[in-house]
Structure 1
Amino acid sequence: MSERKTPDPGNPLVLGIETSCDETGVALIDGRNGLLAHALHSQIALHADYGGVVPELASRDHVRKLLPLVHAVLDEAGVDAGQLSAVAYTAGPGLVGALLVGAATARAFAFGLGIPAIGVHHMEGHLLAPALEAEHPEPPYVALLVSGGHSMLIEVRALGDYHLLGETLDDAAGEAFDKTAKLLGLPYPGGPHLAKLAETGRPGRFRFSRPMTDRPGLDFSFSGLKTQVLLAWQKQDQQDGQVRADIARGFEDAVVETLAIKCGRALDATGSKALVVAGGVGANRRLRAQLAELAASCGARVYFPRPAFCTDNGAMIALAGLRRFQAGDLAGVDIGVRPRWPLSELRPPAAAA
């Protein structure tokens, strides 16, 4: 453990807690030095036998893991709990039981220490995650938020000022990855396994449609693409590993190209020269490469958080909490969570006050 730090009233120190689904994340950040320490516990092994997240098991595992992670992060940073300025936690959207674990823990810490607790919107955390890196854009910029639960294009104008440009009309991209992987007989969680398999697939052997790119607009739809894969798979020798890899490659290419086309349209529509990519699918290597090419072709720049900060994590919640704290956006003492919480309901701190 490092030497204990002296409290600095002019430098807010925020603990972030993320428990929206199946990852327990804790991080510590300050206004001057940035991220000081972070830790993440994944529940993948816990849910693997069920082929998906079991909410009750997720909540119980958060209860077991959260406090040890909090103490580990404070120890790694050499910080006493009494030095904290605020505790930020994910208030929604997410699984209600999992959210309540993080909210109750954060509120208890804050009440005992006499400091604010700040409920953070999970997607705002993802939108701000690229700012955890040394090189990041300041608003305004376009953000592609793409994960297992969300596929959205958003114009980020300022903290809390988010204009929805387009969203999925059915399955999110990450959800389509997971369902397609299950269809191909790949283990849970399917998305990363499908992407790995696609690396050995032959490009062009199976070509699937690029949904909703043949018409104007920035919305997405991936459910029909899933059906195309099913029909193609049913006609093949399902014991042939190369066929499976080729179908995985065809599916991944279709999703990645669709996302890239829509991102290009969003940059054109807004005139922005900065594209931020956030959410779990943002870790996909093929997507990163194609969006980098897109940005270079139109004189823009694309920003990604490191892969560890694409998936759910405490660092993005700590950062969002810090930004809200610095803007004076503080809440009451009630333990409030919102399993469904449209991003459109967020407001800039001054407007919310």
Structure 2
Amino acid sequence: MRILGIETSCDETGIAIYDEKKGLVANQLYSQIDLHADYGGVVPELASRDHIRKTIPLIISALEEAKLTSKDIDGIAYTCGPGLVGALLVGSTIARALAYAWNIPAIGVHHMEGHLLAPMLEDNKPQFPFVALLISGGHTQLVRVDGIGKYQVLGESIDDAAGEAFDKTAKLLGLDYPGGAALSRLAEKGQANRFIFPRPMTDRPGLDFSFSGLKTFAANTINQAIKDEKILSEQTRADIAYAFQQAVVETIVIKCRRALKETSFNRLVIAGGVSANKQLRQSLGELMTQLKGEVFYPQTQFCTDNGAMIAYTGFIRLKNGETSPLALEVKPRWAMTELNSIT
């Protein structure tokens, strides 16, 4: 079985082909970062228009990369939600049209389930059950995973997601969009203990996150530093970036430790765009070493939105006999707990 995956939930157009016997045989990705950089964030209408321009050419490129034709494709998986409604409609419409024309089944995939299962593309796959940390610009969730579709949300962000807080704080520091990765690079030059940021919601029970206040604390710290220095020095910017990142990472580590203790699991899966953060990977690796457990990540290229995770997730569900109806439906908001479980 060969599945074509289409991802168009936000600002990246991802196309991939997953082969049941060979694994991933094609992976094409186009990022819209340059398109949205002038606006300091994703402009939904521009994102949708760019997906229209890029999706079909990338599908053709993916087929060429895999040395396949449309006749070799057995099913199509597309991101049905959550995401930007216009962007989702582009991928869904193209997927449904191709499935109808090629006379093959199609399945709408949950974007976050795609992220959650992205580590399954690696040779060292996590075994069920495990705790998953889904961490990106739009989501920060701790999920108990007992199997495909067997998900229980243990905790999530009640305001800004971690990736969103990274990007907003980076903007406050004058870094270009998207600023999360740039902030992490700047933090590598920072000095410890010059600025001390709070670890939000760690002084109370529970597994929910809150990063909005941390962003406000960063803004106040920057404003005070400007008053003290007149012109913010590069070292001060680096020290603030270091303190902010350290606060986010340590908060996440504390919550992950709690989740693992609560579930008695010794496997942790980290996925989503922020899972590429070096400091986060190192700190969670140290945590799992202390707990004598294992931590699993997707490759860096599969941390951000991509077609590979959609193709793989679609393969799992199509093989289980699931399909989506021809009538077009997208779900900008969609809880993972609504998904069917696979026994």
TM-score bucket (shorter structure): over 0.9
Partner Cα distance (2:90, 2:220) in 1: 42
Q: Deviations over 1:146-203 (max 9, x none)?
A: 0000000001111111001100111100010011111111110011111111010111
State the TM-score, normalizing by the size of structure 1.
0.95
Instruction: Quote the residue 1:213 is aligned against.
Output: 202
Partner Cα distance (1:84, 1:55) in 2: 31
Give the SS at the match of 2:47.
helix
Number of residue pairs matched? 339
Give the SS at the match of 1:195.
helix
Aligned partner letter, 2:295: V
Partner Cα distance (1:96, 1:339) in 2: 5
Partner Cα distance (2:220, 2:86) in 1: 38
Give the SS at the match of 1:169.
coil
Instruction: Quote the residue 2:324 is aligned against.
Output: 331
Contact in 1 for aligned 2:133/2:268 (Cα 8 Å) = yes
Contact in 1 for aligned 2:149/2:337 (Cα 8 Å) = no
Give the SS at the match of 2:214.
helix
Instruction: Quote the residue 1:27 is aligned against.
Output: 16
Instruction: Quote the residue 2:313 is aligned against.
Output: 320
1:177-256 correspondence runs (5 A): 177-236=166-225, 237=229, 238-256=231-249
Higher deviation after alignment, 282-291 or 214-223 = 214-223
Partner Cα distance (2:266, 2:32) in 1: 37
Contact in 2 for aligned 1:328/1:349 (Cα 8 Å) = no
* 1:45 maps to 2:38: no
Aligned partner letter, 2:94: T
Give the SS at the match of 2:77.
strand
Contact in 1 for aligned 2:151/2:337 (Cα 8 Å) = yes
Contact in 1 for aligned 2:150/2:341 (Cα 8 Å) = yes
Aligned partner letter, 2:291: C
Higher deviation after alignment, 323-332 or 142-151 = 323-332
Equivalent position to 1:164, from 153, 157, 174: 153
Instruction: Quote the residue 2:134 is aligned against.
Output: 145
Q: Deviations over 1:107-166 (max 9, x none)?
A: 111001111110000000000000011101122110000000000000111111100110
Equivalent position to 2:284, from 287, 291, 299: 291
* 1:98 maps to 2:87: yes
Instruction: Quote the residue 1:279 is aligned against.
Output: 272
Partner Cα distance (1:135, 1:26) in 2: 23
Equivalent position to 1:263, from 256, 260, 270: 256
Q: Which runs of 5+ in 1 are unaligned?
A: 1-11
Equivalent position to 1:346, from 332, 339, 342: 339
Aligned partner letter, 2:191: R
Aligned partner letter, 2:137: G
Instruction: Quote the residue 2:122 is aligned against.
Output: 133
Give the SS at the match of 1:165.
strand
Cα distance, 1:347 vs. partner?
Answer: 2.1
Higher deviation after alignment, 307-316 or 332-341 = 332-341
* 1:18 maps to 2:10: no
Q: Deviations over 1:36-72 (max 9, x none)?
A: 1101000000000000001111011001111110011
Aligned partner letter, 2:174: G
* 1:73 maps to 2:62: yes
Aligned partner letter, 2:303: C
Aligned partner letter, 1:282: S
Give the SS at the match of 2:14.
strand
Sequence identity (%): 58
State the TM-score, normalizing by the size of structure 2.
0.97
Give the SS at the match of 2:295.
strand
Partner Cα distance (1:301, 1:22) in 2: 32
Give the SS at the match of 1:50.
coil
Aligned partner letter, 2:182: H
Contact in 2 for aligned 1:260/1:291 (Cα 8 Å) = yes
Give the SS at the match of 2:168.
helix
Partner Cα distance (1:107, 1:56) in 2: 21
* 1:119 maps to 2:108: yes
Give the SS at the match of 2:270.
strand
Give the SS at the match of 1:235.
helix
Moved over 4 A (4+): none
Partner Cα distance (1:213, 1:32) in 2: 45
